[in-house]
């Protein structure tokens, strides 16, 4: 590893980094704007200046942009020299010339990289006394608020939106001091990843529009680490609460999964937590035909317990409920009476996924991104696993880069140079889908056909991998050649059994040929795979069998069964008990409804498409009558078995061998840092004593949390928590999300202490 000298002190750094990356990684603070670990360097903002010296005798030195300077052995530099300090202060003063200085009304205030960098450079007095240039803002749709005057022209937005994510409708307009970042005309942003602009833009130009409704500063938010439940990818998120409302959802960095970016469904799709449709009180009806009325928890529980006692009860689980909730239901009704709560197609696909994942290795999103070839069979990933599509796009961009920079050595982080080299070349990404998808433009070749034709193509590819032939005119041979030539290949599929089998056949063929190949199967919901691992019967059987008493866990049967079947089944059911967080057509027919906590208010474990168990923690305590489903279900038993989350999780790990490692997904509730719990609130959390003063002037005791090592409080450990428990990114001087730099082993690499979660499935075929 090369050694560089910062103020004459030697430091070992990685050879493939630029100087900014290396210095930040060593813990030095250099202000920067346009560089981003996932987007590379363009040298646009000129903020990251340092002084380098020719040798140890050179005392004059030369100012360079650290983000554009490759690391080399023996390089000598200083970060803290009067010349560079003055240079950086001048740059930020220029950047701020037209900035409106409207922090008090800006939604970025308090977690703004521009604020942090301005303070860091020491620019604290405004000399510019003239008119500022102003812009007209655009309406960018329901998710992103636009305030162009705050722009400092770092180009990060276009580089993420257009270059990285492939969005076509946002760009930069004009030149010199008239640059404008936005759309060609007002209108909703089209990219599935537009929400990342909120975090990518270092200023308040692009901000989270839904969060504006609940106006709150970052330091006033109560937050907890969690997982997105909107599809089976299992991206890590932070849920942030204030006044009992979910204010915003932020990306939570996970090196192997989502990295720095989420899809918009994950970021903006959790509105139901605050929704009008929420069930906040238990409901019950006197008799069939009477209407549902609010009742007390005790009453609802005693009705439910009576209904359950001594009857054959069946339980219907859910792929959107936690493992623990599904397990609690299975324990209550018995394994024989537990049904998975999946449609027929979902049931088959989930079980087949499980069988295939037990046989063949799979790949994380990071492994997809860094693979050399990929084949997508049958899936429109932008609908079924959006973040995976973004990872595949990076594969398609990265692979020609890797080849080009061999021929013409420019560092991979030098984004502009790399893009000049690569031009419109595409990597070995192939896609076969029933119709056009947005991933097509990144693919080297595309095929459209019926699902059985797609399966046929898959099998042909597998055959061509087995028997490479000279003729290359068929698509199957072309794909097979690319896959065989790849050091690492991934095959992505999901949904349809025949297509999934074909995908598995390609992976098997590649492995027979001695290649490193992995199978990635999308899952429709946050815990589909976990549910299949728990195991249970198919919903279609229940329709046939019928039952006197049915408990439905966080599920709407009308979304799983044909309309007539669902209606007939529920009519035959004498007592229907439903646990859910929001009104559905199923809750409307229930005799007892128990209000379930949403993912943002619960502690639980979810298993993503790779078989990775991940823990979500409640960001805020639910309202008094709302409980986590596993708690309600435990209360329905003759006596309480599981007073805390760890009890139910451990019971599950013992009862179900597949989940033996599930408790390791995160530290247990007993975990302490120097004797302290980890606070969900920042030390600056304001209004604690006044927040409920309209109800009672005495400050209420904060809710206890027996389920996790996190506390609903600003008091507790100030240390950096273990990765599964990081509730916010903050470091001294770094209030923005870019404080994340201080949480990683290497910037852009794994989190300190390793990325959270445990893989529960070990394939027979070792990768």
Binds 184: which of other proteins, ligand FES, ligand SF4, none (CB < 5-8 Å by kind): other proteins
Which candidate, 665, 671, 377, places its Cα nearest to that of 503? 377
Q: Directed axis angle between helix 82-95 and helix 113-121, to 10°?
A: 140
**Of 23, 65, 461, 593, which lies in the binding site for ligand FES, with binding defined by CB under 6 A?**
65
Sign of CA dihedral 75, 80, 82, 85: positive
Partner whose binding site includes residue 455, from ligand SF4, other proteins, ligand FES, none (CB under 5 to 8 Å by kind): none
Question: Tokens 């973040």 appear where?
Answer: 387
| Alpha carbons 110 and 100: distance in angstroms, whole number | 16
Structural element, H or E, at residue 654: helix 645-655
- Minimum CB–partner distance for residue 257 and ligand SF4 (Å): 8
> Is position 48 an interface residue for ligand FES (rule: CB under 6 A)?
yes
Q: Which helix (H) or strand (E) holds 483?
A: helix 475-485
- Of 41 and 349, the one with the shorter C-beta distance to ligand FES is 41
Between 61 and 434, name the residue whose CB sits nearer to ligand FES: 61
**Considering the rule CB under 8 A, would residue 436 count as an interface residue with other proteins?**
no
DSSP 677: P
Taking the C-alpha atoms of residue 309 and residue 304, their distance in angstroms, rounded to an integer, is 9
Looking at 3-11, 28-36, 677-685, 758-766, which segment touches ligand FES (CB under 6 A)?
28-36
Compare residues 275 and 703 and give the one whose CB is closer to ligand SF4.
275
For residue 671 the two structure tokens come to 């975990």
Size of the site for ligand FES (CB under 6 A): 13
User: Cα-flanking dihedrals φ and ψ of residue 619, to 5°?
Assistant: -80, -30
Among 13, 22, 24, 45, binds ligand FES (CB under 6 A): 45
- Cα 216 from Cα 208, distance rounded (Å): 12
Residue 153 touches which of ligand SF4, other proteins, ligand FES, none (CB < 5 to 8 A by kind)?
ligand SF4
**Residue 161 lies near ligand FES (rule: CB under 6 A):** no
Q: Does 174 bind other proteins (CB under 8 A)?
A: yes
Q: In 3-state terms, what secondary structure has residue 627?
A: strand
**Cβ distance to ligand SF4 smaller for residue 180 or 214:** 180
Q: How far is the CB of 168 from other proteins (least distance, A)?
A: 4
* Residue 563 contact among ligand FES, other proteins, ligand SF4, none, beta carbon within 5 to 8 Å by kind: none
Smallest distance from other proteins to CB 162, Å: 8
CB 64 within 8 A of CB 47: no
DSSP string for 702-731? PPP-TTSSEESSS-S--SPPPGGG-----B
Closest by Cα among 619, 526, 602 to 248: 619
- Give how many residues touch ligand SF4 by CB under 6 A: 26
> By CB under 6 A, is residue 360 in contact with ligand SF4?
no
Residue 71, helix vs strand vs coil: coil
**Residue number, 205 or 503, with CB nearest to ligand SF4:** 205
Q: Which of 6, 32, 51, 394 binds ligand FES (CB under 6 A)?
A: 32
Instruction: Report which of 483, 525, 474 is spatially closest to residue 505, judged by C-alpha positions.
Output: 483
Q: Say which entry of ligand SF4, other proteins, ligand FES, none residue 385 contacts (CB below 5 to 8 A, set by partner kind).
A: ligand SF4
Report CA 95 to chain centroid distance, whole Å.
32
Judged by DSSP in three states, 556 sits in: coil
Q: Which residues bind ligand FES (CB under 6 A)?
A: 20, 32-35, 43-48, 65, 67
Q: Which residues bind ligand SF4 (CB under 6 A)?
A: 151-157, 181, 201-203, 205, 228, 230-231, 233-235, 258, 262-263, 265-266, 385-387
Q: Which residues bind other proteins (CB under 8 A)?
A: 162, 168-175, 180, 183-185, 423-424
């Amino acid at each position: 590893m090369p050694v560089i000298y910062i103020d004459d002190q030697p430091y070992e750094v990685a050879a493939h980094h630029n100087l900014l990356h290396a210095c930040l990684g060593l813990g030095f603070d250099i202000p920067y704007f346009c560089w981003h670990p996932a987007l590379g360097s363009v040298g646009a903002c000129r903020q990251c200046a340092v002084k380098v010296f020719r040798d140890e005798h050179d005392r004059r030195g030369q100012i360079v942009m650290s983000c554009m300077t490759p690391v080399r052995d023996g390089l000598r530099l200083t970060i803290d020299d009067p010349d560079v300090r003055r240079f950086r202060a001048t740059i930020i003063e220029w950047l701020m010339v037209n900035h409106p200085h409207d922090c008090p009304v800006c939604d970025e205030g308090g977690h703004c990289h521009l604020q942090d960098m301005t303070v860091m450079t020491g620019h604290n007095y405004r000399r510019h006394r003239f008119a500022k240039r102003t812009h007209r803002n655009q309406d960018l749709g329901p998710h992103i608020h636009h305030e162009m005057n705050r722009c400092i022209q770092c180009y990060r937005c276009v580089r993420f939106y257009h270059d990285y994510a492939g969005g076509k409708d946002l760009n930069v307009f004009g030149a010199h001091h008239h640059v404008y970042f936005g759309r060609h005309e007002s209108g909703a942003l089209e990219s599935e990843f537009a929400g990342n602009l909120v975090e990518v833009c270092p200023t308040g130009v692009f901000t989270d529009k839904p969060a504006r409704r609940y106006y709150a500063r970052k330091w006033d938010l109560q937050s907890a680490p969690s997982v997105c439940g909107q599809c089976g990818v299992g991206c890590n998120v932070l849920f942030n609460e204030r006044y009992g409302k979910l204010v915003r959802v932020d990306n939570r960095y996970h090196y192997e999964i989502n990295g720095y970016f989420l899809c918009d469904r994950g970021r903006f799709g959790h509105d139901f937590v605050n929704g009008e449709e929420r069930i906040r009180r238990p409901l019950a009806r006197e008799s069939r035909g009477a209407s549902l009325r609010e009742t007390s928890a005790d009453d609802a529980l005693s009705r439910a317990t009576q209904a359950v006692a001594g009857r054959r009860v069946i339980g219907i689980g859910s792929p959107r409920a936690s493992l623990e909730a599904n397990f609690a239901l299975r324990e209550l009704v018995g394994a024989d009476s537990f049904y998975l709560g999946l449609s027929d197609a979902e049931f088959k696909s989930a079980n087949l996924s499980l069988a295939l994942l037990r046989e063949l290795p799979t790949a994380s999103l990071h492994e997809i991104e860094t693979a050399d070839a990929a084949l997508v069979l049958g899936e429109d990933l932008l609908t079924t696993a959006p973040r995976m599509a973004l990872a595949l796009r990076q594969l398609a961009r990265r692979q020609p880069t890797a080849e080009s920079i061999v021929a013409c050595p420019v560092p991979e982080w030098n984004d502009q140079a790399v893009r000049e080299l690569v031009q419109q070349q595409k990597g070995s990404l192939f896609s076969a889908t029933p119709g056009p998808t947005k991933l097509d433009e990144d693919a080297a070749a595309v095929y459209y056909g019926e699902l059985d034709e797609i399966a046929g193509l898959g099998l042909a590819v597998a055959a061509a991998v087995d028997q490479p032939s000279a003729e290359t005119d068929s698509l199957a041979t072309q794909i097979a050649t690319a896959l065989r030539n790849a050091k690492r290949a991934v095959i992505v599929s999901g949904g349809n059994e025949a297509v999934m089998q074909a995908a598995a056949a390609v992976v098997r063929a590649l492995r027979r040929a001695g290649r490193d190949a992995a199978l990635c199967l999308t899952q429709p919901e946050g815990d589909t795979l976990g549910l299949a691992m728990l195991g249970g019967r198919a919903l279609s059987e229940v329709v046939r069998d019928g039952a006197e008493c049915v408990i439905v866990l966080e599920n709407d049967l009308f979304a799983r069964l044909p309309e007539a079947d669902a209606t007939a089944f529920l009519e035959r059911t004498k007592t229907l008990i439903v646990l859910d967080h929001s009104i559905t057509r199923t809750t409307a027919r229930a005799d007892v409804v128990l209000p379930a906590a949403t993912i943002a208010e619960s502690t639980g474990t979810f298993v993503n498409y790779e078989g990775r168990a991940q823990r979500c923690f409640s960001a805020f305590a639910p309202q008094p009558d709302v409980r986590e489903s596993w708690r309600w279900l435990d209360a329905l038993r003759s006596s309480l078995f599981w007073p805390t989350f760890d009890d139910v999780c451990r019971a599950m790990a013992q009862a179900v061998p597949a989940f033996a490692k599930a408790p390791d997904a995160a530290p247990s509730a007993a975990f302490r840092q120097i004797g302290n719990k980890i606070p969900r609130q920042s030390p600056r959390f304001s209004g604690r004593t006044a927040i409920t003063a309209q109800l009672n002037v005495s400050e209420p005791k904060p809710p206890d949390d027996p389920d996790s090592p996190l506390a609903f409080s600003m008091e507790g450990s100030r240390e950096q928590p273990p990765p599964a428990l990081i509730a916010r990114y903050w470091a001294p001087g770094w209030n923005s999300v870019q404080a994340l730099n201080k949480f990683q082993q290497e910037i852009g690499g794994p989190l300190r202490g390793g990325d959270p979660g445990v893989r529960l499935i070990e394939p027979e075929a070792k990768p």
